[in-house]
Amino acid sequence: MSLILCGFRGCGKTTLGRLLAEKLNLSFFDTDHWMNLRTGKSCSQIVKESGEAAFRNLEQKAIIQAGKERSQIIATGGGTLFHSNNAARLRMIGMLLYIDVPKNVLQARWQSHPPMLQDSFEELYKKRQPWYPVLAERKVSLTGENSLEAALEEIWEAIPLERFLLLQPGESRMAQQQGL
């Protein structure tokens, strides 16, 4: 079973996902990155040139591809859960963990990296933010000021990692890496 990071654009899914995968010696799959590699275009370019429907169709293919490997860390796009039956598909692959970051932090990150959709920050935030905790199985709240290590500790405390890593009872991959 995989751990799937979801949340609003700029909450840190990719950064935390890469670090988590590295720490746990697991594969990392980023749906946006997969689409970029597959098309040779950024997500913004895909939307601009082919439209949002084509982008979301490609995103569904990324989810199918992600589901081919067990026990990995997956980072989704900020809108992935809200289209078609992506949330249900992802739940079949693993556990959805919502990365919650304060609105002001998300807004600052939004302004530093222009979005691919035409919606304003406020419009998108109002539409999506209430649904992440409903669609995800677990939630971790970060201040946006957390160090990466502190953010990882919050994740360790929020989820039963052994459920994803298919370890023997009582065995911890983190403990293995630390020689415990």
Q: Domain holding 143: CATH number?
A: 3.40.50.300
pLDDT in tens, 114-130: 666 678 889 999 999 99
Which residues span the domain enclosing 160?
A: 2-175
pLDDT, position 163: 59
Has residue 180 been placed in a domain? Answer: no
Task: State the pairing for strand pair 138-141/2-6.
Answer: unpaired
Pairwise CA distance, residues 129 & 153, whole Å: 23
What angle do helix axes 13-24 and 148-158 make, rounded to 10 degrees?
80
pLDDT in tens, 131-156: 999 999 999 999 878 788 888 888 88
Q: What's the total number of domains in the chain?
A: 1
Has residue 161 been placed in a domain? Answer: yes
Amino acid found at 130: P
Mean pLDDT of the chain: 86
